[in-house]
Structures are given as structure tokens and as C-alpha cells.
Structure 1
Amino acid sequence: MTGSTLDLSTAAADFTAILGHWEAERPDAPAVTFAGTTRTWAEFARRVRQNAAAQRAAGLRPGDRVAVLDLNHPSCVEMTLACAQVGTANAVVNFRLAPPEIVYVVNDSQARILFVGPEFAAAVAQVRDKLPAIEQIVHVGGDADEYEAWIGAHEPDHDVHPSAPGDCFVQLYTSGTTGFPKGAMLTHAGMLAHATNVMADFDVDADSRVQVAMPLFHVGGTSYVLLAIASGAHSFMMRMPDPAAALEMLERERITHTFYVPALMAAMLQVPGVADRDFSSVKALSYGASPMPLPVMRGCLKLFPDVMHQVYGMTEQCGVVSSLGPEDHTDPAVEHRLISAGTPIHGVEIEIRDPATGDPVATGEPGEIWVRSAQVMGGYWGKPEATAAAITEDGWLRSGDGGHMDADGYVYVTDRIKDMIISGGENIYPAEIERVLAEHPSVADVAVIGVPDERWGEVPKAVVVAAPGAGIDEAALLAWCREHLAAFKCPKSVDVLDELPRNPTGKILKKDLRKPYWEGKERQVV
């Protein structure tokens, strides 16, 4: 290894100390490359401390939030690390959200400053009057960039807020069954535990070259870049996960570690000349967050032999909790494991529990997947009841996913306890879509389900009952959704029924609605 190994359990209590370690150990080594610009660890650390100084000059204090609405950009990572130093937290907003959803997340976070990329400046200007807590908007990148001047006006601030392990420094929003997103408070302890555990299982170190392709609002983006920082690796950030550009970067930069969602990998297989490229530098290609169609998996196994890791994780656990390694992808004797989520990674416990009683179920029996590790979030921002419902007193996180575990300890994620739909790596809760459709005057009753899709794994479908005297115009309903929801959440089709199936207590039987679409298919969520 070019630089010394950092023992995260003893050498550092937070990410500020980690950044300082690599700045001292490898000041002239490359830390982050983006859009043709590479900054060393010394340069990167200086910018983080300038950001910290700018936050304090703006009056931000420990516990305050800032928000970032942008495509991937190093400024967001600088912001997160500066928040770790100041005691603030970076609420990274999903840039795929519709304007009303952006308003909700920014207001819920109580952010005082909003950092906006050029692609979203117009949308923010339209809703500016609906963001009362925002004291300042700083434009990042493009012709109207203000971020460089915002940090450049200050000398680096070396004062470090004495963070506790449970302090939140990055807040990622995950959709909720109430129809509104929840802010998962990710802590120093949780992110450090995730980095430690993944480094142990995926051989990430200071010589690694890590591609950050996933959006930073997603745990697969933010936790992945923080993993690289914790290990002292060189990060290569992409602004957007473009398949051709990602493949070109893999080859040109001799990337060793990366993470993709299956929809991106499916698109990669269609890139002209992909089979002729040299990807021999790759040591670990992780994929997950949505189902991987077996034809796509087989094509990718030819393209990336002996390096693929299927991973299962969640925002509330700072990222990955289980992995199916390369050996299980290629051994014909265990081909059935290709639809599993693998075994728990280092430092993680997984059990299958009865969702009603919380009692462990027998091996092979279905139940809810419970996870316990030091990676667990600090809770949901401003939602103590939701936090108490998700995390037990003895530290188990109720994932909301249904599944079973075989006798060899492999986890199979087979359904969603909470009806969540995973489409192209994005978590979609039907309640969000149902809330919008229920407001349309032609709809009397509605249920949203996930149905199979060859490209995205599954997509939302709306099943509606018409209001008395009204007719259902499918195009009008879909247009209504596009006005109020992010595009990836919008139903792709609408079915009309005379009534929705319900049990004796009145609960809609979504399993009955889903059944005809999933018959003959091995449903899985990874």
C-alpha cells in the first residue's frame, strides 16, 4: 500500500480526523477527480476547511442543516465533510423529485442554506416563496457559480466541533409509508462502521481507485464516496451515471471498485464495442438496489468475470448489509443463490422475524428481515415515533422487507412488508402515489402496485375505481401524476376496476392485485 492503513476503530472518531490523517499521510496524492480536475488530499482538505469557515461565517451552528440540490459534484462531498467538522448536517435532496416534493424535503430538513446546481436553478426560483427557512441560496457550477466565491472568501478554519459518535452529519431522505419522505440521520459511528465493514469484505485500501457513479442523494453514492475517503482511496466522481461514460472511465482510469444499479448495467451491455474493452483493473463490481434480470446478469458475468458482488442494503443502515460474492455467481452447484442477497457482511447480523410478534422464525420460513449492526442510523429526523417503530430497544432495525434465510445463512429478499416498489434502484412507496391520485376528482379508490418490467425490474401500476358519474381517462391520470411526482415514481399504466379487493377489516389486498402479474416469475428484491 502506498499509504499507511488507518484503523477506523481506534485512530479516528469521526470523518474530520480521517481527512486530517490522509492529508498528513499523503498530502500530494490524488484524492478526488471530477470533470478532468484532480485535487490532492492537501487541496481537498483545504477546501473542506474553507467550507467550514464559510458555514460558521453564515451563522450556522451545531445541529443546523444545509441542503444540496444538484447532480453529483465534489462540492457536495466537501459540504458533508465540512458539516462533520462544524457539527451541522448536509441534507442531500433527491434531484429527481418534483417541485412540490423538493419543497417538502427542504422544509422538513429545516435547512438554512440551499446549494443548487444549474439544472435546478429555475425550479428553485419558482418555489422560492415556499421555502421560508432558507436564508441564502448558493448556486454551484455553471456560468452563475457562487460556490467558489462562497468558500474562497475565507481562510481554512481548523476549529473542530467535538462530535459525538452519534452525531448526524449527513441526512438522506427515504420515502415513507405515510406518503412523505423521512430524513435518515446518518452518523459518524454509522458511516465509520459501514466503511470498516465494507473495507474488510471488499479489499478497499489507499491504493484503490473508486468510481462514484451513483447519485449522492442515494446511500449508494454518499456512503460509497465516504468509504473511499475513509480508506484513503482515489475517488473518480461522475456527474451522472451514464453507461458509455462509466465504461470509458473504468478502462481509462483503471478503476478497481465501483457500484451500479442493474438498470445501468443492462444499458452498458448495449454500448457498442463494450466486449472489446479492457476491464481487468476491476477488483470488485458491486450491484444492487433493484432486481437483476438473469439475462442481464449472465451478460455482465461475461463482461466482468470473477468480480461481481450482489449487495443488499438500506439507507437506514448506511448502505450494504449483505453480499453475494463472485464465487457464488459462477459455481453451477449453487446457481440457485443467484436470486439471493448473499450473506451478512463483516460486522452485521441478520435474522428473519415474525413481523407481527418479532419472534425469530424457523430456517427457510418467511418473515421480515431484521438487521443489527453499528451501521444503524441515528433515527428519522423529527420523527421519534417512526424511529421507535423501526429500531428496537436492543438495536435491531426492522427493514420492512420480507424474505427468508436458508440453512447456509443466505438471505432471500422476496417481498416488501410495507409494499415498497424498487424500480431501477429507486425506492418508491405506493402511499406517495396513492396520495396524489386520490386527489384527482375522477378517482374514488386507488391502490398502487409494482408489476414486472424487463428494464427496471418493476414499475408502478395504478389500480383505480372511478368516482360516481365519472370516467377514467388514463392519459389524464398519468399527466396528473407527472405534475405532482418525480417521473420515476409515476405509474406507467392504469387499470380500472369496479371495486378493490379488501379483507374483512377493510385493508386492500394488494397481494391479490399483484398476483396475476407475477405468476410464473421468481420475484426478488436485491
Structure 2
Amino acid sequence: MTHPLLPIDAREAARVLVALREALSGGPAINPRTDDTVPADLPREVDTRVALVIETSGSTGHAKRVALSTSALLAGAQAADQALAGPGQWVLALPAHYVAGTNVLVRSIAAGTVPEILPSGHFDPLIFAATARRLPGPTRVDAPARYTSLVPAQLASLLDAAEGDPDVAGVLGLFDAVLVGGQATPLALLERARAAGVTVVRTYGSSETSGGCVYDGVPVGATRAEVVDSQLELTGPTLAEGYLGDLDLTAAAFVERDGARWYRTGDAGTVSAEGVVSVTGRLDDVVISGGEKVSLGVVERAVRELPGLGLAVVVRAPSERWGEVPVVVVARDGRTQGGMHGPDALDRVRVAVAETAGRAARPDRLVEVDVIPLLPSGKPDRVALTRLVQGDRLSPSGSGP
């Protein structure tokens, strides 16, 4: 059986909230969008199990339409409540057409609370603080728990603002949990947040798992994780139905094993004997440099631990000598005091990366840009950055591996 699929303008998150509440109650499924034209190939009807269709290309540029059922979305909300301080009230600071944003809305609906919603557009720490102040204070006996969900760049902006504004600093300490995900969060940023009294929870997941399903390395709810052929796989009640209009992609990403349905994440990682998940990078982000395999994710994590490079991005570039090489991209205004400056900055980065990831992983060059381009989800636009560095002819090359 099928029911309608309705496009919804995600630039008005309050409209998405209303439509999503109806969808979770058995009404038409919704497809939050930010464009004014509806693609001709968007289905008009979907299976009645489906409540939400999220369009995502991640950082690869390959468009996918992820179909999420009511039961999967509500299972995710229940698992989050169990892992956190129970049902609560949320501040929506992320786009409502990405799964992290819709998760805030789903969890609010499941908790019977109304989220506070930031205006769409550029993230402003002062507006965030003013919005968060509208949440019921902790002195109220019946006040629900207070939550928000951010990407690392937003958390960094808030911490920067908090250093000069006591009001922002005070707001951050009011949250029972600040979920941070969407990309790897630098250890230095986590330590800085916790030192400032922020209760940070690192999340891992994707649209295909109804958003975050691993908190601080621990699968939540009924989620389980295994590594098969070096690839991290996840199973549990939050898995998507599949990809609309793409049976082959669905069959490749969702597999049956041991009586369960598993999602093949495309990530490399490990699962400890205690069940703790560690993600080491994308399986498709490996470059062959000088005949050796180098994970860009591993290089990026090493670079981000260096002073002033907490939000740097590492992408690939061709090299006549080495085949492909890692390249570090950093925003000029992202350099903090005490960071990597001067003509020897690249050399210092290369030495630090070699100590962590090996000689072949040393970045070929360090490229400065005015601003790191972002996807609407807040993740770095790696496709745009790859094109930029592949066309870059201004920055000096390093010596390669």
C-alpha cells in the first residue's frame, strides 16, 4: 500500500515540524527541501511505512533519497532518550532538511515538547544564546531536559563567542547534553568544550540509520555494530527502508546476515570486545601515495589535533611523482593564536602527521582559503575543496612521501 509524498519547504522549519508530526501519525510522508522546484523524478507516492524522505549526497556529490519509516524514526528518538537524560526540549540549530535537523523535530514530537528554532541562514552564536534562553530554566521543577545538536564548526563558534560574552558561556552550561556530529570532532575541541562546562556527546550515524545511533562510541538502543571485511556495519530498528528509485544501491548498502538486516556504512573502523566503536575513516577516502595506502580521514584527524588547525580539511590531489597526495585546506580566519604560522608551517604539519600516520601520509601542501565552503548540513564541501586544490597552482608543493 502507498500514500502521498509531499515536498515541504525546509527553510521554514516550523512547517516541517507540523508536517512531520502528521506524518508520524500516519499522514502523508514528507520530503523536506530547500529548492523551489520539485524534481520531476520525485515519486508522488511511497510505501505507507515511510514517513520521511531525506535527500543526501553526503560529501561525495552522489544524490540519494533515503526513505525512513515511522518506526525507525521513533526507535531513534527512544534510544536517544534512554542514552541521555530522558525526553526533553530541544534547540534546532541545524537545517531541517538534513537528518540531524529532522531528528531534533522527531525527538521533540516524541517527547511532547515544542523546539526552539533558530532563524534559517548563517549560524550566529548570539542568536543561538538568545534562542536557548527561551528554554525553561533548570530551577523549574517540571522543566524537561535541555538539548541541542551541532556540527563541530558551530560548537567552535560558540566557544569563541563564550570567551568574550558571559551570556553565551552561561547558556552552554544550561544544556543537559550538546550532541556534536556530522563529521569527526577534534579532540582539542572536545577538551575545550568540556573545560568550559559543556556536556558534549559525540554522535555517529547517517541518514540511513535515522541519524546518530552511536554515542561516544557506544551503540544506543538496540543498535549493534560489527566490522566485516574491514567495513563497519550497523543493525537495529533505526535502519532506513532503502533508497527511493534505486534498488541496486539499496541492495548494495543493506544486506541480510545472521537473521538481521545490516547497513554497510562505507566507513573503516573497529569494534572492541566491549562493543565500543571507533571510526578510522571512509573506505573510499584512501589514496595511493608513492605505492602506499593513505587514509585521508586518518591524516585529517592528525592535522586537526594541531594548534590552529582544528577545523582544517584534508582532501586528495594528483601528483606526477607520487600518484595522489593529501592536501590540507584551512580558512585564513580559522588560524588561532599559537597555531601553525609562517614559512615552516607545512614542515611542522608534515612532521606531526608522520609521527601519527606514517611518512607516506605527510601532506603535500597547505592551502589557505578565505572560508571553508560548507554543505547545507554544515559539513565541509569536500567536492568543492577537492576541485579547488586540484586546480591550485599558487601554493608551494611539499616533497611528497
Question: Which bin holds the TM-score, normalised by the shorter protein?
Answer: 0.5 to 0.7
1:2-13 alignment, distance < 5 Å: none
Q: Is the counterpart of residue 415 in structure 1 residue 281 in structure 2?
A: yes
Q: For residues 91-141 of structure 1, give each alpha carbon's deviation from its aligned partner in whole angstroms, at most 9, with x where no partner exists.
A: 122x4xxx8xx86x73342459xxxxxxxxxxxxxxxxxxxxxxxxxxxxx
Q: For residues 273-310 of structure 1, give each alpha carbon's deviation from its aligned partner in whole angstroms, at most 9, with x where no partner exists.
A: 147525443211111111222332222112234x2211
Q: Is the counterpart of residue 344 in structure 1 residue 207 in structure 2?
A: no
Give 1:178 shift: 8.5
Contact 2:53 2:67 in 1 (8 A): yes
Give 1:315 shift: 0.5
1:318-337 alignment, distance < 5 Å: 318-324=210-216
SS in structure 1 of the partner of residue 275 of structure 2: coil
- For residue 281 of structure 1, the aligned residue among 160, 174, 185 is 174
1:125-524 alignment, distance < 5 Å: 167-175=49-57, 179-205=61-87, 208-240=88-120, 241-253=123-135, 254=137, 256-271=146-161, 272-274=164-166, 276-305=169-198, 307-324=199-216, 342-354=217-229, 367-393=230-256, 394-419=260-285, 452=300, 454=309, 456-458=311-313, 460=315, 463=318, 488=381, 489-491=383-385, 493-495=388-390
Contact 1:291 1:457 in 2 (8 A): no
2: distance between equivalents of 1:177 and 1:387? 19
Contact 1:72 1:215 in 2 (8 A): no
1: distance between equivalents of 2:263 and 2:29? 22
Contact 1:251 1:279 in 2 (8 A): no
**Change in 2 beyond 3 A, CA 1:289/1:318:** same
Partner residue in 2 for 1:75: 15
Deviates more, 1:405-414 or 1:79-88: 79-88
TM-score, normalised to structure 2's length? Answer: 0.67
2: distance between equivalents of 1:458 and 1:193? 33
**Change in 2 beyond 3 A, CA 1:304/1:219:** farther
Partner residue in 2 for 1:117: none
1: distance between equivalents of 2:221 and 2:26? 31
Q: Is the counterpart of residue 90 in structure 1 residue 30 in structure 2?
A: yes
**Identity across matched positions, percent:** 22
SS in structure 1 of the partner of residue 205 of structure 2: strand
1: distance between equivalents of 2:11 and 2:275? 38
2: distance between equivalents of 1:300 and 1:287? 11
Contact 2:116 2:134 in 1 (8 A): no
1: distance between equivalents of 2:29 and 2:201? 31
SS in structure 2 of the partner of residue 346 of structure 1: coil
Q: For residues 221-280 of structure 1, give each alpha carbon's deviation from its aligned partner in whole angstroms, at most 9, with x where no partner exists.
A: 101210111111231111234322213333442471111111101111221314752544
Q: CA RMSD, aligned part only?
A: 3.8
User: Max radius of gyration: which structure?
Assistant: 1
SS in structure 1 of the partner of residue 389 of structure 2: strand
2: distance between equivalents of 1:457 and 1:185? 32
**Change in 2 beyond 3 A, CA 1:293/1:192:** same
1: distance between equivalents of 2:115 and 2:194? 25
Contact 2:188 2:310 in 1 (8 A): no
**Change in 2 beyond 3 A, CA 1:389/1:302:** same
SS in structure 2 of the partner of residue 204 of structure 1: coil
SS in structure 1 of the partner of residue 66 of structure 2: strand
2: distance between equivalents of 1:455 and 1:106? 38
SS in structure 1 of the partner of residue 242 of structure 2: coil
2: distance between equivalents of 1:168 and 1:457? 37
SS in structure 1 of the partner of residue 243 of structure 2: coil
Give 1:62 shift: 4.6
Q: Which has the higher strand share?
A: 2
SS in structure 1 of the partner of residue 255 of structure 2: coil
Q: For residues 15-66 of structure 1, give each alpha carbon's deviation from its aligned partner in whole angstroms, at most 9, with x where no partner exists.
A: xxxxxxxxxxxxxxxxxxxxxxxxxxxxxxxxxxxxxxxxxxxxxx953322
2: distance between equivalents of 1:389 and 1:177? 19
Contact 1:318 1:377 in 2 (8 A): yes
Contact 1:168 1:185 in 2 (8 A): yes
TM-score, normalised to structure 1's length? Answer: 0.52
1: distance between equivalents of 2:218 and 2:39? 37
2: distance between equivalents of 1:462 and 1:63? 46
SS in structure 2 of the partner of residue 277 of structure 1: helix
SS in structure 1 of the partner of residue 285 of structure 2: coil
**Change in 2 beyond 3 A, CA 1:62/1:464:** farther
Partner residue in 2 for 1:140: none
Give 1:82 shift: 3.2
Contact 1:312 1:320 in 2 (8 A): yes
Q: Is the counterpart of residue 65 in structure 1 residue 28 in structure 2?
A: no
Give 1:177 shift: 9.5
Tell me which amino acid in the other structure corresponds to 2:385. P
**Change in 2 beyond 3 A, CA 1:460/1:63:** farther
Tell me which amino acid in the other structure corresponds to 2:208. E
Contact 1:62 1:86 in 2 (8 A): no
1: distance between equivalents of 2:391 and 2:89? 51
Give 1:217 shift: 1.1
